[in-house]
Amino acid sequence: MSGLLIGIICGDVQQGIIIGAAVQAVYIAMVTPGGQMPADLNYIAYPAIALAVLSHASTGVAVTMATTIGIVGTVIFNFFQVANSYWNHRAEKAIEEGNERSFHFNAIWGPQIFSFVLRFVPSFLVIYFGSGFAKQMLAAMPQYLLDVMTFLGGALPALGIVMLLNVVIKNNYMWVFFLFGFVAVVFMKLNMIALAMVAAMVAVIYFFAISSNGKSNSKDDGQDGNDDDEEEF
């Protein structure tokens, strides 16, 4: 979604969507246990993609750039988490004093304003001043370094897909569905709409097959129980 919005704002919707999809593939399986993130998706989704679109970077270079900015954004996010304790203490003090207005500000508005400043101001500065610098930096880079960044940018989405499969696939037979989708796209050249329709039909067939198997097992268990009762009688 951020790629579409940035593409509309920057005047290059196609490139915004392409870069957004490539960046999303890297972090598609990322989880944030306890609110701890290896990278800040807010900085990846907006300033990083906007910077890549404005600097006319290739998709591979854009992914590498977004990964780097996301790691830097984590530092700002951790600072935000620590700074939130200040608002918590003020809210607790407002509760003790019975000051409802102060409590609402410190529990709701204060943290939101602080979060807006921490996210908007750096993003604005990076996009406004950094696009020209990024163009000059990419133009000054030797070709072999750009090739390395492109290679890494192409490998990172694949790593994200592998992490997603590791989370989603619980049984070995589920690999059949993944391989079917891969073959349908790469060799059968199905577009996304056709693939979605085929996948929906396969999912319905699989659901009814599992449901029928479960009902059959329940009937067999019930019949075995009746036989045991008759033998005991």
How does pLDDT run across 182-211, given as a tens digit for each residue?
Answer: 888 888 888 888 888 888 888 888 888 888
For the ranges 168-172, 181-185, 220-224, 229-233, the one whose mean pLDDT is highest: 181-185
In terms of domains, do 103 and 210 share one? no
Farthest CA pair distance, the chain: 90
* Number of residues that this document lists for the chain: 233
Residues 204 and 135 in one domain: no
Residues 154, 183 within the same domain: no
Q: For 106, how many CA atoms within 13 A lie in the half-sphere containing its CB?
A: 17
Query: Final residue of a domain: which of 120, 148, 168?
Result: 168
Q: Are residues 38 and 151 in the same domain?
A: yes
Domain boundary among 149, 168, 187: 168
Do residue 51 and residue 153 come from a single domain?
yes
Check whether residue 65 and residue 133 sit in a common domain.
Answer: yes
220 and 126 assigned to the same domain: no
Whether 139 and 197 share a structural domain: no
Could you say which of 168, 193, 222 is where a domain stops?
168
Question: For residue 40, what are the CA distances in angstroms to 25, 36, 87, 96, 146?
Answer: 15, 9, 22, 35, 24
pLDDT in tens, 106-155: 888 888 888 888 888 877 887 777 666 666 666 666 777 767 766 666 67
Shared domain for 145 and 192, answered yes or no, is no
Q: How many structural domains compose the chain? A: 2
Checking if the pLDDT of 15 tops 80, the result is yes
The mean per-residue pLDDT over the stretch 71-84 comes to: 80
Higher local confidence (pLDDT), 30 or 113: 113
In the chain, % helix, strand, coil (3-state, to 5) comes to 85, 0, 15
Give residue 69's identity as a one-letter amino acid code. I
Are residue 93 and residue 59 in the same domain, yes or no? Answer: yes
What range defines the domain where residue 159 resides?
2-168
Q: What is the pLDDT of residue 3?
A: 80
Residues 154 and 198 in one domain: no
Please tell me whether residues 159 and 175 are part of one structural domain.
Answer: no
In the predicted model, is pLDDT for residue 90 greater than 60?
Answer: yes
Q: pLDDT at residue 40 above 80?
A: no
